[in-house]
Structure 1
Amino acid sequence: MSDTRTYDLFVIGGGINGAGIARDAAGRGLSVLLCEKDDLAQGTSSRSGKLVHGGLRYLEYYEFRLVREALIEREVLLQSAPHIIWPMRFVLPHNPVDRPAWLVRLGLLLYDHLGGRKRLPGTRTLDLRTAPEGAPIKPAYRRAFEYSDCWVDDARLVVLNALDAEQRGARILTRTACSNIRRRGDLWHVEMTDAVTGAKAEVRARCVVNTAGPWVNDVIGRVAGLNSRRSVRLVKGSHIVVPKFWEGRQAYLVQNPDKRVIFINPYQNDLALIGTTDIPYDGRPEDVAADADEIAYLVKSVNRYFKQQLSDADIIQSFSGVRPLYDDNAENPSAVTRDYIFELDAANGEAPLLSVFGGKITTFRKLSEHALERLKPFFPKIGPAWTARAHLPGGDMADADFDRFLGELRSRYRWLPADLAKHYARLYGTRTHALIGDANSLEELGTAFSRLFREREARFLIETEWARTVEDLLQRRTKHGLHMSEAEKRSFSGWLEGQQAAA
C-alpha cells in the first residue's frame, strides 16, 4: 500500500545518525519518514563502548577539531538526558613503557580545557599505593591519572531520538527496508519492503538522507543506482562482559604496547564491560562477531594490570560491532578518523541525496545540525537549530538532577522496591509516570518475568518504542537478558508469543 504524501526528508537507517537527523528535521518543521530495515540501533549503534567521551586517544592523531566538538557535546548531552547519560571517572594507571608521563599529562591538560569543561571535575593524579582506586591494580603500577567522561545507554539514546522525532510529527518505520530509490524530476520515488511480510509500498520525497552506516555505499550503488567518490572503511570493535572485580564506581583505562587503550567499565551494577578492539573487517556487517583472538587480547590487556586474573570462564557475554569509518587511507585502523563527512549529490538542481560517512555516538547531535545546514538551500523556510537546549524524552528533570528525581519517584510510589524504582528512573526518566500509569501496587504491574522485569514494562515498550522481539526487549530496550535465567527467558518468550498470536 502506497503513501500518497510527499515527504520533505526520507531518512534511510535507524541508527544514531538517522534518528538524530530525523529528530532535528522534524523539530524544524520538515515532514520526515525514517525507515530502518531491522530494529532501531540493531547494528553499530547498540554495540559501542557506551561512552559519551571526547576521545582522549584521538589527540595523538591531531584530531583537535573532533575532540573539541565531542567535549562540548559531552556536556550538552549530559544536560539533555541525565537518566541515560551520567558522569564517570576513569583511572589510567601509568605505564612508562607505553607512554611517558609528560605526554599523558599534556593530553589530559588539553582534554580538560579544549572543550570548555563546566560540569565535570578535572584531572587529578593518584598514588595507587594509598588511593582506594589502586586496590585492584598490581603493585608494579604506582601512579595513575584520573579524569572525567560520561556513560551512555547507546541503544536507548537512539530510541529516544526516534521517539522525540515521532512526537514532533516524523513517521518511524522499523523492519522496513528501502529497496529502491529513483529520481524523477525534483522528487525521489522510494520503494520500501516490509521485512516481515514482504509487502511493498511507495512514497515520494524531496530529499533522501542516507545514514545506513556500514551499508551507506550499498544504498548509493545498489539502491539508488549512483556512484560515490567516497567510501567507508569497516573496522570491527569487540567487547566482553565479565563479573565486576573491583570495588567502587570508577572505570579504568589501560594502555597496551601496541598503543591501543582498553576501557574496563562498571556495567549493570555488578558487571564489567571491557573493550574495544580495532580490526579491519571485510565481511557482511550482519555477520560480525567477536573471535577468539580478540577475546584473548582483551583478557590479556586486563591481566597485565590487575591482580585478579581473568580467564575465558569469566566471560558472560561478548559482542562485536562494525564501525563504518570514513576511509581516509590511514594504514593503522586505530588511526582512521572518527570524524564525519557528508557527500551531497544534487547536480543540476535535482532532488538531493545526502550521504553520511563516519561519525561517533558523542557527536551525533552536532552531525545532525551540520546535515540540516547542508540541506538548508533546498528548504529555505526551515526552522533554526534547536536541539542544543532541548531534553530527550524522559530527560526533563529539574536541573538535570537524577538523584533528586529518583528521590521524588520513591516518595510518590512508596510501594515500588528501591531497585525497581532506580531501574525505571534510569531507563525512562520522567516517562516512568506514564509506564506506571494507574498502578497502585507491585501486583498491578503484572506478571513478573524476573526480579526487575514486569509485564507492564514489556507492554510499555511494545506500545511506545517499536519493540517486537525478545531481542528487542531483553537486549536493546533493556539489559534484562543479562540478569535472567534461561528458564525466565523461555517464560518471557512464551508470553510474548502468546501476545502476538492474540493480536
Structure 2
Amino acid sequence: MTNSSRQDALNTLRAADSPFDVVVLGGGITGAGVAREAAGSGLKTLLVEQRDFAWGTSSRSSKMVHGGLRYLGSGHLKLTRDAVRERERLLAEAPGLIDPLRFIMPHFHKQFPGPRLFQLLLRAYDRLAGQQSRLWLSPGETLQWVPGLDSHGLAGASGFTDAVTDDARLVQRIIAEARADGATCLNYVCARKILRDAAGQVTGVELVDTADDGAGSAFRVTANLVINATGAWAQRLRPGAGQGSPIRPLRGSHLVVPFDKLPVACSVSLFHPDDRRPVFAFPWQGRTVLGTTDLDHREDLDHEPSITDAEVSYLLKIAATLFPGQPLGRSDIISTWSGVRPVVSEGNELAPSKENREHVIWQDQGLISVAGGKLTTFRLIAREALDLGRHQLPAQRPAPELRNERQPVLAPCPALPRPPGVSHDLWQRLQGYYGRQLEGLLTAGPLTTIGDSGVTWAELIWAAAHEDVMHLDDLLLRRTRIGLILPRGAEDQLPAIGTHCRKALGWSEPRWHSEVERYLALWQTAYGVPAQPRQGVHP
C-alpha cells in the first residue's frame, strides 16, 4: 500500500460508510492470520496495528517453523501434532520462504538426554509428521556435519528436519493475501478503546492514526466482532484481565554473527551448561544466529526490547561450549534482536522455560482475545478464534462458514521465467517472499544485491513504494533484514539507499536525514551490542 492509498483508506474509515464484520487488532502473525482467514471467508475485515506490521514478536522470533520437539518431550502432544502438520503445509505452499533445515543434537557421554531416549522421542515426532526424517550419526559423521564441534566425550548425534523462515516476511505475505481478498490492513493505527452498548455487547472500536507520533485525531469504526490479537498487549483491552490466567511476557534474545566466524550449515542444539535450556546455532540470511534466552521481561512493553549484557554473555558461552576452537567475542557480533513472547502463565511460579506455549482464547460479548501459541500454528489459532466469534455477527443468519480448510494460506507464485543472471537460490527466495506480487517486484529496480546481504535493490525499492513503510526501520529491519545482517545496521549503505529509495518513499531530503538519525539511534539501542553492562542476570 502506498502512502496515498493509505490516506484514502483512513479517509474512508473516518467517513464510517458501513460497518465491518470483524476488526482485527494486531498486525503480527496471529492477527495477519485472522485477517487472511476472515477475508477469505467473505467477511468484511479491518486489521489495524499500533506500530508496524510484525513490529513485535513476529519479527523477533527464533525464525523456526517447527513442531516443537521440546514440547513433545513435555507431554504437549496436541500442540506438537498440530505444529508438525502445519509445518508440512507451509513447506509445500511457500518454498523459498519456508525452507527445510536439518537439526543436529550432539550427545555426550553421561549427559542427558541420552541417544536412546532422544531417538525414541524422534520416532514419535516422525509419526506425528507422517514421514521419517530422523537419523543417527556416529562421532565421525557428526564432525562431518558440524566441523569444529567439541569432540571431547562425543557419543554421536541425533538428526531430524524442521524448517526456518523470515518471520516478518511471512507476515507481509499473509497480509498481502488478506488484502487480495478485500481486507483493509493498516499499520500505525492504534485501538484506543473497545466500544460497547448499554448491555456490554461490542459495537466497534475507537482508533487513532499514530503514523505522526500519535498526533492524529480519534475516530470510530463499527463492528460486532473484535479479535484482539495484540500478543503481550492483549490484557490492555480485555476486561477483567487481572483475573484468571495472566500473560507473562518472556524475552528471548539472539546474536547475529558472521558465518565465517561460526560456520554451521545446519541448526546445532545443545543444552546450556548454566540452566540446561536448549540453545541453537543456525544459519540464517547468510549469517549464523545464536539463540535464544528465556527470561521475564519487566520493562515497558511500548519500548523496543533489547538484549542485556548478561544475555550476550549467556549466548557467547554456548558458542564457546559448542565450538571451543573457534573463539567468538563481542566484537564479532553483527547485530542482536530481542522479542517478547506473550506466554499465558499457569500461575504456579514455573521457570520461564517450563511455561506452557499453547495458546488461550478469551470471549467477552463480541471481543475475542488471543494470547500464546506458536508461529507455526497461526492458521489454526486464527480459525479457532473466528469460529468462536462468527456467531457474534447478528446481521448474518446462519453464522458464516469459514473458507474451505483445503484452500492454501499462501497463493502460488505465478509461473514466470527466471531473469538472466539470477541464481536458482535467489529466484526461489524471491518467489517464496513475494508470491503473486513477484511480477511487479521484477520491474521495480535492479536485481543486483546490496553488499553481501543477498537482498536486491529491487526488493528495497518495491518495499519503499508499495509496502506501507512509514519509517526507515520498517524498511531496513522488517521489509528487508539488511539492518540485521550488514555491519552497524547497514550504515555504510544508507547514502545509496537514500539515492534509490527516497523518491519511492516520497520523503524530502530533510525528512530522509531525520529518518536516518532516528534509525541509527534506534538500532544502537535495540539491535546493537550493549555498550556497557546493564543490570539483570539470566536466571
2:463 to 461, 473, 476: 461
CA contact (8 A) 2:115 2:158 kept: no
2:380 to 354, 366, 379: 366
Aligned-partner Cα distance in 1 for 2:279–2:417: 36
Match of 1:290 in 2: 307
Match of 1:445 in 2: 446
CA contact (8 A) 1:342 1:371 kept: yes
Tell me which amino acid in the other structure corresponds to 2:333.
I
Structure 1: gaps of 5 or more residues: 347-351, 398-404
How far does residue 6 in structure 1 lie from its aligned partner after superposition? Answer: 0.5
Superposed counterparts of 1:252-331, under 5 Å: 252-257=268-273, 258-269=275-286, 271-285=287-301, 286-306=303-323, 307-330=325-348, 331=350
Closer, same or farther in 2 for the Cα pair 1:124/1:73, shift >3 Å?
Answer: same
Match of 1:177 in 2: 190
Closer, same or farther in 2 for the Cα pair 1:335/1:341, shift >3 Å?
Answer: same
Closer, same or farther in 2 for the Cα pair 1:494/1:463, shift >3 Å?
Answer: closer
Identity of aligned residues (%): 32
CA contact (8 A) 1:163 1:465 kept: no
Q: Does 1:480 align with 2:482?
A: yes
Q: Does 1:122 align with 2:133?
A: yes
Match of 1:382 in 2: 400
How far does residue 344 in structure 1 lie from its aligned partner after superposition? Answer: 0.5
Closer, same or farther in 2 for the Cα pair 1:178/1:392, shift >3 Å?
Answer: same
For each residue in 1:92-148, what CA deviation from the matched residue of structure 2 results, as whole angstroms up to 9, or x when unmatched? Answer: 10133232223212221111112323xxx5110111324511422112124000101
Q: Does 1:335 align with 2:337?
A: no
CA contact (8 A) 1:79 1:391 kept: no
Aligned-partner Cα distance in 2 for 1:302–1:454: 31
How far does residue 249 in structure 1 lie from its aligned partner after superposition? Answer: 2.9
Match of 1:436 in 2: 442
Closer, same or farther in 2 for the Cα pair 1:64/1:220, shift >3 Å?
Answer: same
Match of 2:525 in 1: none
Match of 1:401 in 2: none
Aligned-partner Cα distance in 1 for 2:170–2:297: 26
How far does residue 52 in structure 1 lie from its aligned partner after superposition? Answer: 0.4
For each residue in 1:203-250, what CA deviation from the matched residue of structure 2 results, as whole angstroms up to 9, or x when unmatched? Answer: 1111111011110001225xxx98753320111100001112455632
Match of 1:67 in 2: 80
CA contact (8 A) 2:173 2:434 kept: no
Aligned-partner Cα distance in 1 for 2:333–2:135: 32
CA contact (8 A) 2:94 2:432 kept: no
Tell me which amino acid in the other structure corresponds to 1:256.
H
Tell me which amino acid in the other structure corresponds to 1:137.
L
Superposed counterparts of 1:30-429, under 5 Å: 30-95=43-108, 96-117=110-131, 121-131=132-142, 132-140=144-152, 141-184=154-197, 187-195=202-210, 196=212, 197-221=215-239, 229-244=244-259, 245=261, 249-257=265-273, 258-269=275-286, 271-285=287-301, 286-306=303-323, 307-330=325-348, 331-346=350-365, 352-379=366-393, 380-386=398-404, 388-393=406-411, 395-396=412-413, 409-410=417-418, 413-416=419-422, 421=427, 424-429=430-435
CA contact (8 A) 2:281 2:291 kept: yes
Tell me which amino acid in the other structure corresponds to 2:249.
L
Closer, same or farther in 2 for the Cα pair 1:65/1:361, shift >3 Å?
Answer: same
CA contact (8 A) 1:234 1:281 kept: yes
Closer, same or farther in 2 for the Cα pair 1:183/1:79, shift >3 Å?
Answer: same
SS in 2 for 1:129: helix
CA contact (8 A) 1:90 1:146 kept: yes
- Higher alpha-carbon deviation: 190-199 or 377-386: 377-386
- Higher alpha-carbon deviation: 83-92 or 124-133: 124-133
How far does residue 501 in structure 1 lie from its aligned partner after superposition? Answer: 3.3
How far does residue 464 in structure 1 lie from its aligned partner after superposition? Answer: 3.2
How far does residue 152 in structure 1 lie from its aligned partner after superposition? Answer: 1.1
CA contact (8 A) 2:95 2:429 kept: no
How far does residue 73 in structure 1 lie from its aligned partner after superposition? Answer: 0.9
